[in-house]
Structure 1
Amino acid sequence: MNAAVAPPVPEELDAFRRDRTYLGADHHRNERRIWIVTGICVVTLAAQLVGGALFKSVALTAGGLHMSAHVAALLTAAAAYAFARRHAADPRFSFGVGKVGYLAGFANAVVLAITALAIATESVERLIHPEAVRYDGALPLAAAGLAVNLLCIVVLRPARRKGHTHDRDGDLNISAAHLHLSADAMVSVLTIAAMALGAALHWDWTDPAAGLAGAILVGRFAWNLARRASATLLDVNPSSALTEEVRARLQVDGAEVVDLHVWRLGPGHHAAVAVVAGLHVDVARLRQALAVIPELSHVTIEVATPGATHQP
């Protein structure tokens, strides 16, 4: 009796990460840094609120309330890292959870935009109805806030990517938190300069003028961050150079790429779905040609008969 012959196992079309884990290379390190900075801001927030209550200082209380915006933004970023780490292998997410950080980045962009609007509204109000500024109490507070921001900026500084890469955004989650604090630091510098000038020349309008300039700066940061995050969330082609490199590597031995889609899955991870037409297409060879692209983590190749109409 002849032994039953097992049916051939169809070659998988998917490559290259079978675990569907598309987290950034520095995910765990960035999560730790976010929690460290969150702790620094929470301690500063508590000190300012307690100091404001003990010394009856409105300026300290206002500084604490402002710091609460930083804490909220950092907690959003930290929650995104924790969620992505815990659900990295969850099969419910077809293409992993690498985009959670971009969602947090978009949320932080919204917070920045609201902050810019609030600063602009208050600044315009103060320009129309000037009020005397207590420079003796405000200047030390602004300087202390700037010092805390600079410390946090150093801790959150995004790591430099080595070698050639098509992923210019990297880990947008930590970049968003870093940008949030950087924007506030720039506003603090403008504020300190304006208050120093106002104190020297007795000009009350310099403080709200600096606030308005800072609001414009923060608003621009918010727009750029929202644009970058939404591009990933909406699967905008992340890199025309990467797309053309994938196309060039697939068009060998007479094969023709009739349809190609490239999108970002997470920090440093991209996916490509391609339809290739040709008489003698070697899928294994095509996969091998694409495997040299480090940012390409998921590939699906469909082979079509030459002349056939493909419906994307």
Structure 2
Amino acid sequence: MTAAAPETQGQIDAFRGDRVYLGADHARNERRTWMVAAICLATLAAQIGGGIVFNSMALVANGLHLAAHVAALVVAAGAYGLARRFADDPRFSFGTGKIGYLAGFANAAVLALTALFIAFESVARLLSPAEVAYDAALALAAGALVVNLICMWLLRPAHAHAHDRDGDLNLSAAHLHLAADAAVSGLAILGLGLGRLFGWAWADSLAGLAGAVLVAHFAWRLMVRAGAVLLDMNPSDELTAAIRSRLVTGDERLLDLHVWRLGPGHHAAIVVIEAKGPLAPSAYRARLAGLQGLSHVTVETRDSR
């Protein structure tokens, strides 16, 4: 067996510096996340205060849901800052690109707990209905929906690919939180509207319960996506197939291949190639040049003779 061929000192130094795997729009997304967090914090105060004054469970549920979003946005913005600050820290062997995924997983767990709390409160109100000030509550819920839509626009991805599986999960998670809140706001408006038109006092609480189910669904989706990256699941069958097709020619055999995500739009690969008189590792890395999203490659060769 022959390991990777020795590299020049210049190449070794280059590899040591090859650990910055932040998203292309990292700075932009960090600024906008802080901006949206401030907007949502002001809306949160209005939502919960209005829900208490107007006796609307749907408004309180929406406000509590928004509280989870404010916390999530602060965590997401903080994750951007930490990833940027420690991007060149040699203690992080593969950079800090995964900090956003860790933040996303934590936010998903908090969102799931929020869904449970909203469901509990909504069921309590269904069993013990209370009078609701429908006109004022409807106005406040409509205003919250408008704010949510504005914030979603502010957190729109800079590029069309930003919400796909290679995009920035930190931004995607923040956008998902706001989308869920917009949907809950819509449900609150529906429940309040039915209560006002037909006198269905239970409709407001039922809207809160439906919102809890929706929030739980969004939390599960986010947890699955973030967990897959944190556990180094293969992020792309297409990229794996492209690596395999470029490396295996003639009598060469690919004995081992690992692909995982380093950060938004960045992937790493470890390959073990066997051949009769294998080429230098740098030759195999050259074959992979130009593969979109492949930012770090480690090659080991074995001589089958």
CA distance in 1, matches of 2:122, 2:54: 21
Matches within 5 A, 1:83-232: 83-161=82-160, 168-232=165-229
Residue pair 2:115, 2:216 contacting (<8 A) in 1 also: yes
Structure 2 vs 1, CA of residues 88 and 18 (structure 1 numbering), >3 Å: closer, same or farther? same
Letter in 2 for 1:284: S
Give the TM-score of the pair, scaled to structure 2: 0.88
Please state how far the C-alpha of 1:158 moved relative to its aligned partner: 2.3
Structure 2 vs 1, CA of residues 168 and 56 (structure 1 numbering), >3 Å: closer, same or farther? closer
Please state how far the C-alpha of 1:109 moved relative to its aligned partner: 0.8
CA distance in 1, matches of 2:201, 2:234: 49
Query: Are 1:248 and 2:268 matched, yes or no?
Result: no
Please state how far the C-alpha of 1:121 moved relative to its aligned partner: 1.0
Residue pair 1:15, 1:299 contacting (<8 A) in 2 also: no
CA distance in 2, matches of 1:157, 1:115: 25
Residue pair 1:270, 1:298 contacting (<8 A) in 2 also: yes
Structure 2 vs 1, CA of residues 207 and 242 (structure 1 numbering), >3 Å: closer, same or farther? same
Letter in 2 for 1:81: Y
Query: Are 1:299 and 2:297 matched, yes or no?
Result: yes
Secondary structure of 2:261's counterpart equals strand
Structure 2 vs 1, CA of residues 120 and 45 (structure 1 numbering), >3 Å: closer, same or farther? closer
CA distance in 2, matches of 1:16, 1:268: 19
- The percentage of aligned residue pairs carrying the same residue is 58
* Structure 2 equivalent of residue 29 of structure 1: 28
* Structure 2 equivalent of residue 267 of structure 1: 264
Extract structure 1 runs of 4+ deviating beyond 6 A. 13-17, 55-61
CA distance in 2, matches of 1:203, 1:56: 20
Give the TM-score of the pair, scaled to structure 1: 0.86
Cα offsets for 1:263-288 (capped at 9, x unmatched): 00000000000100002322333211
Cα offsets for 1:232-255 (capped at 9, x unmatched): 001011111211111111112321
Mind listing any 5+ residue stretches in structure 1 that lack a counterpart?
A: 1-7, 308-312
Structure 2 vs 1, CA of residues 192 and 45 (structure 1 numbering), >3 Å: closer, same or farther? closer
Letter in 1 for 2:21: Y
Structure 2 vs 1, CA of residues 37 and 64 (structure 1 numbering), >3 Å: closer, same or farther? same
Residue pair 1:110, 1:222 contacting (<8 A) in 2 also: yes
Q: CA RMSD in A?
A: 2.7
Structure 2 vs 1, CA of residues 208 and 59 (structure 1 numbering), >3 Å: closer, same or farther? closer
**75-84 vs 288-297, which moves further:** 288-297
CA distance in 2, matches of 1:128, 1:15: 66
Structure 2 vs 1, CA of residues 146 and 300 (structure 1 numbering), >3 Å: closer, same or farther? same
Secondary structure of 1:277's counterpart equals strand
Mind listing any 5+ residue stretches in structure 2 that lack a counterpart?
A: none
Residue pair 2:54, 2:132 contacting (<8 A) in 1 also: no
* Structure 2 equivalent of residue 78 of structure 1: 77
Q: Which has the higher helix share?
A: 2
Structure 2 vs 1, CA of residues 207 and 58 (structure 1 numbering), >3 Å: closer, same or farther? closer
Secondary structure of 1:265's counterpart equals strand
